[in-house]
A and B are shown apart, each in its own frame.
Chain A
């Protein structure tokens, strides 16, 4: 899982609450990414950031928000607008268009 940490590993929330997932890296990578993983659907890109104070929507950005105030940190907020937020969330970083390094993931359960 390299130098990327995600916390917490498991997260439980009630429907209607916003929740923020943490992602921190000490690899000095410029780019960071958030993916959502559901059984049988592979990885789907939520947001990515190529540089501090800049980020772009991925394929499934609706109901999510991010910030990139520091190079090391890329938190993801799952808002109450996300219709089906229960999933496994993976954060990654990269130094260029080469391999991405992944964190251990956060499993979010919303009831």
Chain B
């Protein structure tokens, strides 16, 4: 069975500093990996995805994520954090070999707080 772990419930970072939100996964075969962001009382917004190709994936709002197959990780990063980046971040996984639309499996989320 596939699963996602986000080991940190909360990440605090000073504005202007680099940020990392961690994600590790478990899936049979090659994964499709995703990051979403959620602002209070809103739905999830797609940030970026890894399907195949370059291990470094660039997404919306200056975010990027690095796929590391040997460590089964897909950490979200940003070189310089903004206060407006404060939100709840979810990592999700799907096996690449699927029949039909298999639902994504989500981690429990990491709350990012960027302090001015």
Contact = CB atoms under 8 A, between A and B. Distances in A.
A51 to B, nearest CB: 8
A97 B102 contact: yes
B43 A103 contact: yes
Contacts of A97: 32, 94-96, 98, 100-102
Interface in B67-116: 90, 94-96, 98, 100-104, 106-109
A31 to B, nearest CB: 3
Contacts of B44: 43, 90, 92, 100, 102
A100 B44 CA distance: 9
A33 B108 CA distance: 18
Nearest to A102: B43
Q: Contact residue range for chain A?
A: 20 to 34
Contacts of B94: 97
A58 interface: yes
Contact of A99 (B43, B49, B106, B109): B49
Nearest to A1: B43
Nearest to A31: B101
B41 interface: yes
Given A90-B43, A96-B101, 10 more contacts: A1-B43, A40-B108, A41-B108, A42-B106, A42-B109, A43-B44, A97-B98, A97-B101, A100-B103, A107-B41
Q: Which 6 pairs across A and B sit closest by C-beta, in order of nearness?
A: A31-B101, A102-B43, A42-B108, A102-B44, A97-B98, A43-B106
Interface of B: 9, 32, 34, 36, 41-46, 49, 51, 90, 94-96, 98, 100-104, 106-109
